[in-house]
Structure 1
Amino acid sequence: MVAQREPARGSAPGGESEHFVVVFPGYHRAWGNWIAHRLESHGHRTTLQRWDPDREQPLEEALGDLQLASGRVLLVLSDVFLQLGPRTEADWNAVLRGYVAEHADRFAAVNLTNRELLPATAVLEPVALWGIGEEEAERRLLNRLGLRPRRVPVPQPGYTSRYPNDPPDVWGEVPRRNARFTGRDLILNELQERLMDAEHGAAVCTLVGTAGIGKTQIAAEYAHRFGPDYDVVWWVNCDQRNTQRDTFGQLAVELGLDRAGEVGERVRAVREALRRNEPSGRWLLIFDGWEEPEDAATYLPHGGSGHVLITSRNKSWRTTTEIKQISAFKRAESTGYLMRRAPHITAEQADQVAGEFQDLPLQLAQAAAWLGEEGMEVPEYLRMVRGVGLTRLESGTMPDDYPYSSLTSWSMLLNKLRKSEPRTVDLLSLCAVFAPGRIPLGLVRGIPSSELPENLRWLVTDRSGWARALDSLVNYSVLTREARNPSAGDTEQSDSVHMHQVVHSVISELTQGRNSDTFREVVHRLLVEADPGTPRDSRQWGLYAELMPHLLASGAPASKERRVQEMLLNCLRYCYASGEYSLGAEMADAIRADWETFMGGEDQQMLVLTSLQGNLLRAGGHFRNAQALDSARLERLRAVPQPGGVHEEAVMDATSCLAADLRLLGQYDEALQLQEQVVEVSRRLYGPEEWTSLLAQHNLAVGLRLLGRYDEAYETDLDTLRKREQVLRARHPDTLASGNACARDLRLMGRYQEALARQELSIRLHVQVLGAQHPQTLLARHNLMLCQRRAGTPRQDIATAMALLFDQQEQVHNRTHFTTLSLMTDYGNFLREHGDLTLARELLTEAEDGFRALLGPAHPVPTAMQSNMGLILAAEGERDGALNMFEQALAGLTSLLGPDHPATLGCALNTSGGRHLGEALEDAFELSTDTLKRCRRVLGEDHPLTLSCMVANAIDLRALRRRDEARAVESEALERLTRSLGAQHQQTLSARQRTRPYWDYEPYLG
């Protein structure tokens, strides 16, 4: 069945208007809305139509129904669209090659996926909108439809959607979108209509239904599907009351409210801000699993123009909100879901399974796993569930200015407590093992009593004793308790206390030696329990940040307990993932100092420590220290070969680390050879889509990029990005890193607009996922500015952003860190290009000296930096000095990288210009001719560097009075520049003015 059409929208300026039927699956409603708004803003009329034909209706007939309206049909394509029904590939191929091909003039399409579509979809000539920014997407859409853009688009009234690729300004921890979400379109559409049409301040709807009916999935899909309608989307898990309060209160930080207050104050501040529509009235709150309507007044804004969606099993929500009863799937939804998950079953078999489980989504998900992932046949499966019952779900002490009497006072208190409340002293002794500050003391209550020393088991078994001891310490001002309002049964584990540093020093002194080993072991066990086990997940970084201060304070590195050692390694992994390189390197040193006293160099834990320590040193700019560590490890492993996969994995990891060191130290060929070995071994051991294999492939692309093999690097990075999007998630830091890499490749390939479109989309996700000050975010912003500069963004926009980024980069790292030196260089190049020679010289000199100190003189980066200094000298009129710099850089790079490396070719372009300025015209022509030939072969005819070489060669020909030849070369260059970069691009304009082009070196270490 074809869904009911929505009325045609938009007005027409006379006969220039066209009508379009925008056809989309419910999954992509946001895209349908955006496309319609964009077309209407350019004076066209649209009809939005969600399309989900019944399997029984022939595809040709369903597509024919779409043509009953006037105008063209625009299909919003993705793999989801091609599964509607569901349909087989043969069904779609037949109708695309037949009916659609016959009516090709009535159909057009956009493609929203990075995965391969059916080959027959080529008849639709779908234009790709995946992974690009809004401006570029609109340009491609209009171009595909052959429409002229209005010079000033007409603003569209009403509650318009933002660009679907552009995430809301604030996005809470909404569950990952379920790519297998099926049906529920009517429910989702009704929800949106209810919320949109509700009176001001009353847009609250509760999804009510039994457990497992799919309420959370519907709410999550609503957030993803209609997210572009909002500026703030915040998800609150209500399983526990304290979790609900904390998560809701965290929104205060995202909204820029006071984050230092008590959690209740933050909750009130958030509620009041949303009620006043600050910072925006387009907000969506989702409370998942909220079972206590009596708490509604605490959280619901009761005002404002935003929306609230609640999921609950409690029907009494109807007294305070609208409710929507969620029932089982409709049978067509059940069978469609089963057949998509298990393509080998028939419609009749899917119907049998759906009937067996009464269309309950949770049970159908289990059935689909058996049938799809396990490949089980339906008769066998039904026999099992009917016979065995698989339908169940399985699955110095005091500061100098303190009087000595203070120490006496604390000593007296301890003596009193030892006599009257010995258990309180036990608890205090336990606190003394932690670092001062916030202590997650309550987590000890989660340790099984059997794993505690007998004299401390009361900490777990005696709740009243625990409460009395803690209250006593608070009453005596030894501790302060962090404000909490936890739910029943979770009080003690949620207890978090704060001990001032001075108090901690005194108590540590006074309790020293009292069963210290025993208390340390308890704290180590607590830290193990507190380890989330997912150090690369940015959502857990707050927890790891809380653990870090207590590692050394508790003496954890001295523990011989395997679980404690793994917890320490996870903390180092967190340091690397979150950009805390210096802290991590210091911690790794401390751990190694202890482990070397009882652990051999070939022990698995020590090998992992060495790998992590090398990563932290490398990321912190200590390349040679990292190389020494990694080389020694690899030599040791190769010297003692062992059978079995564990040893091979260790060798592979050591090889990968050494390859990374060599890349940074400029030994690109050797590094690539090692990395190719790593890729081959990782794919053989783990498969091509496992996390380790994808990291190896990502690093392979880095090696290719450093060697100037940009096309190969891009293909590798693009493949890695696609796989990471599927295996990890779109918001995973590794996926974001792949997006950065693709944009960098595109820029180096000269595809500036594509690079800019991709990088613009990436920035906001970086800020949301990693934070504005994370090293990876800073690198992404740096890359964005380079893309903007090459694409022709106005000068002042780049100047302001680059100055701000430079300040932030220096705060996060320092002026001598290699990423700061890279940004310093690019900032200096930008300033030179725009006339600020004094500051440009200062920055480029400092950067060159910094790279030389870091890498040594015989490295491609400091060698190429000489060419940048040559451009400064040339701009200052120092022709001889400039030429000397150019020649040195060219000779050095030719020796280090070879004559065909893009960096060498760029330096050759500058050198030919230096010779021309020095009136060595024949030498300049000879070099520009040779450089042009090499650029064509290495980079292609239309690469910007190739075209710059053509312009330079024409200038040399004209200087030699070979005017006809010069005119021919210049004409071809201008034609290619106009076609590839545009007539108004600065490089095109400069070529038309016969300004000799130059090339500035952008340092990149990988």
Structure 2
Amino acid sequence: MVELRPPEGSGGPGGTGQPSQHFVVAFPGYHRSWATWLAHRLESHGHRAILQRWGPSREQPLEEALGDLLLARGRVLLVLSDWFFQLGPRPEGEWNAVLRGFVNENAESFAAVNLTNRTLLPATAVLRPVDLWGVGEDEAERRLLDRLDLTPAAGRTPPAGPGSRYPNDPVAVWGEVPRRNSQFTGRDELLNDVQQRLTDAGPGASACALIGMSGIGKTQIAAEYAHRFSPDYDVVWWVNSDQRNTQRDRFGELAVELGLTESSEPGERIRAVRDALRRGKPYSRWLLVFDGWEETDEIAQYLPQGGTGHVLITSRNRSWGEHTEHVDVAGFRRAESTGYLMRRAPHVSAAEADQVAVEFNDVPLQMAQAAAWLGESRMEVSEYLRMVRQGGAGGTGGRAALAEYPESSLTSWSILINKLRQTEPHTVELLTLCCAFAPGRIPLGLVRGLNATDLPDELQWIATDRPAWARAIESLVNYSVLTRESRGNANSEGGPERESVHMHRVVHGIVDELTASADREVYRKVVRRLLSAADPGTPKDSRSWPQYAELLPHLARSGSLTSNEPRTQRLLLNCMRYCQSGGEYRAGAELADQIREQWSQILEPDAAPVLELATIQGNILRAAGRFREAYDLDSSRLELLRGAPAADEEALMTATSCLAADQRLLGQYAEALHKQREVVSTAQRLLGPDDWTTLLARNNLAGGLRLLGRYAEAYEVDLDTLRKRETLLRNRHPDTLGSVNACARDLRLMGRYQEALARQELGVRRHVQVLGPQHPQTLWARHNLVLCERRAGTSRQDSGVVLAELLEQQEQAYGRRHFNTLALIADYGNYLRARGELTRARELITEAENGYRRLLGQAHPVPTGMQSNVGLVLQAEGDRDGALNMFEQALVGLRTLLGADHPATLGCALNAACGRNFTGRLDEAVELSRETLQRARRALSDDHPLTLSCQVALAADLRAVRERTEAGKQEEDALQRLTRSLGAQHPHTLSARQRVRPYWDFEPYLG
């Protein structure tokens, strides 16, 4: 099969007078990268080369297969290794006979390069292979030309294109790709199909998913693709995706390898990686492999929308076909099954290999196990099949795990385990320990950090007998039970504690059943101990998050959830804190439910760990937008504590604070404020006015005041908190920066726009310096800066571009439906509406309104107020009746929920008065405008921008009913106040002077 035909050329190499020659580079698919490099070198010297992937079937006579190569024009260059002589596979005698006969007779038509340091077949000497193993590119090229009797071309220019890098030169960034399987068999057509699909796809759409059942070989194919085609790329990065938190951390680690950011915050790293890959800087040729990615809902968070790189996904989920090219991965073809088996077990004949393949339906996972057994044991196939068919070793277990596999697969594993029990007991003990972990990546090296005294008697050999450990690992790898993995890149440092292995989930399920014994709990206790010992103890430090991501999958399997050990319980709580701090809300909520279910059986409801769990779980639910669940959890906890015989005031304070936070988010602002005052009072009495917890309580108190529209009071509390935090924590502490955000927001809501802008500009600079530009708190600070600039009328940046960028980053951090993202969607929609981009504005504002309604229900201030924003879009589109309907609904709803004097209600009233005016209900407009102005003056002040907007609107309504004298007085007074407070050139002042009707954007905010 011809893989590549180079461009046409004419003439000989420049300056040599040597005529151009033709070559056929024949290679097994395993060595495609070398064949490509050889062809490129020959082309660079003015010759023509055709790549010929050569893998004759066992049924084709070897002489005939070699003769076919001679049908092409030119000399045949064979790419040799020990792998080459396993093609077929064929006995050594057959190869030696053909080399001594047919090849020797046509020796001038053949040449060869040797890529191995192992001894080749004796008769290979007839080919005079040139040794390229372990030499640099220049020397390899010199040897190649010398072997082919070619003169180097003068002034040559190497052809551009993929695959031109020397295969021995490492990829610039190589990220944790599984080791190349030296036994990998076949799949050439599938691999070439994947490569062709990725190459043919347009920029930004080069993604392909390998779809198939467990054990079918998807991961092995992806790993082989990464190795085989690595010269086509400068970056190859492998992402284990069976756990979302692991996937996020692993993908984000690429940012460090690319030198993009020093931040350890995953959201910032992910954004930086996507942007760099999209732009192709610092590398344009990249390959991302997402192994075991089953969830398609976060595809936009990871896949770069553009760029010239490629993405390869392995999954059991067939819905990937909606997002990418997809390739169905079936079992081996029969020739692949038999070829694989005969290579690993040379004593097996072709007919016998066929019998084994039939028995196991050509399933790669089972063929690997059968081949390993037969290769290691040298057992006759007839005896092996007899044992398999008769259920040779007793109970097989694990049937649920092998539901898709033939019945005989179960017995073959049983045979292996029984044999190991008799001959290698340490290997079975190590295998049993592996089964105390969850399947997938197993950080087995952690056990190397334990002392012998930390291990039970039967496992103390692990700490004292290193050779036995090495032999056990090697045996399990040889039998295809485990594969070796390494944590980090080849250049990273790490001792034996960083060693890890991988156990396929199907293998794990079967082996777990087969190794089950009465002492299973002993092994799980060991795993619990080493997991606890590996706890970094710093769950809020993002530098520790990759370690927690590695520990998290093994908690349930090891029995950690049911442990009474304080260290293990502390590990569980720290893993919960990691999920909260790292934004892993789904994983955190699931883990919390599992822990709560188990702890309810072993701990009292008021036990300290249970109360601590409730606090963290509530925080996670709240952050995830599951407000009602958090409220129910915190209500139950508070009721429990209040009913306790001996009151724990600090625990009561914490529970009350959590419930107040829930109530703020649920729109119960007055009740929340009352509870928060209790919290502040208790904190000051128990801990003092300057304690960290007291300052946090005061910060939350200010938030409650702000939600009630009491902006001046909120600012007073926030400013006092900021001053204390600056003294106690210094001005670069995240909590201090949070207070800067709060003060700037208060000032903006108070109408002191220039002061707000000045504070927020400095605050954003410090946020970026301390936390990085993609930290969630920084995203909010940048969002608030855009709003401050717009209100101040002095934007120093394109607000639309910034809002679009922030929306993309916010979505990466939280998802599209998160309440923080919805707030940005709403503000971006308001901005676009004001710019006249009505179609996109309507889409965004409708999306935000529907999202808030799903999240919060109907009777909540935020979705109610969002109706006013919808009304403004309808009004801009000319649907004045529809707009008025939206304004009136928002006004009635907010009066009921927040009261008539709340600033949000006043803003909706301003819009409703406009709607009445535009639909001819002039007297009603005047009445509402007059009432709104009076309320605004009482609630906000005479000079607040919203108050002055109400005054300008009243003047317009008075002119409409021909009360021109009063209209003139109101307008003149409003213009003087606007000029004095905002400046003559402020957009509000200019609009009022031009008699443009003012409006009010509802700004959704949950606290």
TM-score (norm 2): 0.57
Matched, 1:585 2:578: no
Shift, 1:861, TM fit: 1.6
Match of 1:479 among 483, 487, 500: 483
Map Cα deviations across residues 211-242 of structure 1 (whole Å, 9 max, x no partner): xxxxxxxxxxxxxxxxxxxxxxxxxxxxxxxx
Map Cα deviations across residues 486-515 of structure 1 (whole Å, 9 max, x no partner): 999983334344444455444434333362
Shift, 1:745, TM fit: 2.2
Map Cα deviations across residues 658-688 of structure 1 (whole Å, 9 max, x no partner): 1111111111111011011111212222233
Q: Which amino acid aligns with 2:1003?
A: E
Aligned partners of 2:753 and 2:792 also within 8 Å: yes
Greater CA drift, 490-499 or 830-839: 490-499
Distance 2:692 2:735 in 1: 9
What does 1:588-667 correspond to in 2, within 5 Å?
Answer: 588-643=592-647, 647-667=648-668
- Give the match for residue 900 of structure 1: 901
Aligned partners of 2:486 and 2:498 also within 8 Å: no
Shift, 1:757, TM fit: 4.3
Distance 2:489 2:849 in 1: 56
- Give the match for residue 992 of structure 1: 993
Map Cα deviations across residues 11-30 of structure 1 (whole Å, 9 max, x no partner): xxxxxxxxxxxxxxxxxxxx
Q: Which amino acid aligns with 2:630?
A: A
Match of 1:253 among 246, 249, 256: 256
Distance 2:684 2:608 in 1: 22
Q: Which amino acid aligns with 2:882?
A: G
Map Cα deviations across residues 613-634 of structure 1 (whole Å, 9 max, x no partner): 2222222122112211211221
CA 1:411–1:888 in structure 2 vs 1: closer, same or farther (change >3 Å)? same
Aligned partners of 2:725 and 2:736 also within 8 Å: yes
Distance 2:926 2:656 in 1: 45
CA 1:960–1:633 in structure 2 vs 1: closer, same or farther (change >3 Å)? same
Distance 2:828 2:490 in 1: 51
Matched, 1:558 2:562: yes
- Give the match for residue 569 of structure 1: 573
- Give the match for residue 933 of structure 1: 934
Distance 2:694 2:744 in 1: 21
Distance 1:705 1:416 in 2: 72
Shift, 1:994, TM fit: 0.8
Match of 1:527 among 524, 531, 536: 531
What does 1:664-743 correspond to in 2, within 5 Å?
Answer: 664-725=665-726, 727-728=728-729, 732-743=733-744
Q: Which amino acid aligns with 2:849?
A: E
Map Cα deviations across residues 375-414 of structure 1 (whole Å, 9 max, x no partner): xxxxxxxxxxxxxxxxxxxxx6766776777666655554
Shift, 1:635, TM fit: 1.4
Q: Which amino acid aligns with 2:787?
A: L
* Secondary structure of 1:593 counterpart: helix
Distance 2:440 2:793 in 1: 50
* Secondary structure of 2:601 counterpart: coil
- Give the match for residue 798 of structure 2: 797
Map Cα deviations across residues 709-735 of structure 1 (whole Å, 9 max, x no partner): 222223333333444455556555444
Matched, 1:460 2:469: no
Aligned partners of 1:711 and 1:749 also within 8 Å: yes
Map Cα deviations across residues 579-630 of structure 1 (whole Å, 9 max, x no partner): 1111111111111121222223222222222222222222212211221121
Distance 1:740 1:464 in 2: 59
- Give the match for residue 265 of structure 1: none
Q: Which amino acid aligns with 1:253?
A: V
Aligned partners of 1:474 and 1:481 also within 8 Å: no
Q: Which amino acid aligns with 1:634?
A: L
State how many pairs are aligned. 626
Shift, 1:703, TM fit: 0.6
Matched, 1:442 2:445: yes
Distance 1:867 1:737 in 2: 30
CA 1:981–1:413 in structure 2 vs 1: closer, same or farther (change >3 Å)? farther
* Secondary structure of 1:596 counterpart: helix
CA 1:697–1:926 in structure 2 vs 1: closer, same or farther (change >3 Å)? same
Structure 1: 5+ residue stretches without partners: 1-245, 260-272, 280-395
Q: Which amino acid aligns with 2:446?
A: L
Aligned partners of 2:884 and 2:915 also within 8 Å: yes
- Give the match for residue 428 of structure 1: 431
Distance 2:879 2:487 in 1: 68
Distance 2:411 2:801 in 1: 58
Greater CA drift, 986-995 or 467-476: 467-476
Aligned partners of 1:438 and 1:497 also within 8 Å: yes
CA 1:971–1:399 in structure 2 vs 1: closer, same or farther (change >3 Å)? farther
Shift, 1:754, TM fit: 3.9
Shift, 1:984, TM fit: 3.7
Aligned partners of 1:486 and 1:494 also within 8 Å: no
Aligned partners of 2:583 and 2:814 also within 8 Å: no
Matched, 1:878 2:879: yes
CA 1:563–1:419 in structure 2 vs 1: closer, same or farther (change >3 Å)? same
Distance 1:558 1:992 in 2: 71
Matched, 1:492 2:493: no
Shift, 1:747, TM fit: 2.4
CA 1:739–1:416 in structure 2 vs 1: closer, same or farther (change >3 Å)? farther
Shift, 1:771, TM fit: 6.4
Distance 1:729 1:832 in 2: 41
Aligned partners of 2:627 and 2:662 also within 8 Å: yes
Q: Which amino acid aligns with 2:974?
A: A
Q: CA RMSD in A?
A: 3.7
CA 1:995–1:566 in structure 2 vs 1: closer, same or farther (change >3 Å)? same
* Secondary structure of 1:480 counterpart: strand
Map Cα deviations across residues 672-709 of structure 1 (whole Å, 9 max, x no partner): 11011111212222233333223222211211110112
- Give the match for residue 779 of structure 1: 780
Aligned partners of 1:538 and 1:770 also within 8 Å: no
- Give the match for residue 838 of structure 2: 837
Q: Which amino acid aligns with 2:428?
A: V
CA 1:739–1:422 in structure 2 vs 1: closer, same or farther (change >3 Å)? farther
Distance 1:499 1:811 in 2: 31
* Secondary structure of 2:798 counterpart: helix
- Give the match for residue 510 of structure 1: 514
Distance 1:625 1:735 in 2: 30
Shift, 1:462, TM fit: 4.3
Distance 1:998 1:485 in 2: 57
Query: Percent of pairs identical after alignment?
Result: 64
Shift, 1:558, TM fit: 1.6
Distance 2:726 2:423 in 1: 61
* Secondary structure of 2:556 counterpart: helix
Q: Which amino acid aligns with 1:441?
A: L
What does 1:214-363 correspond to in 2, within 5 Å?
Answer: 253=256, 255-256=258-259
Distance 1:482 1:937 in 2: 68
TM-score (norm 1): 0.57
CA 1:525–1:737 in structure 2 vs 1: closer, same or farther (change >3 Å)? farther
Distance 2:964 2:518 in 1: 94
CA 1:942–1:256 in structure 2 vs 1: closer, same or farther (change >3 Å)? farther
Shift, 1:480, TM fit: 1.1
Distance 1:773 1:412 in 2: 54
- Give the match for residue 952 of structure 1: 953
- Give the match for residue 4 of structure 1: none
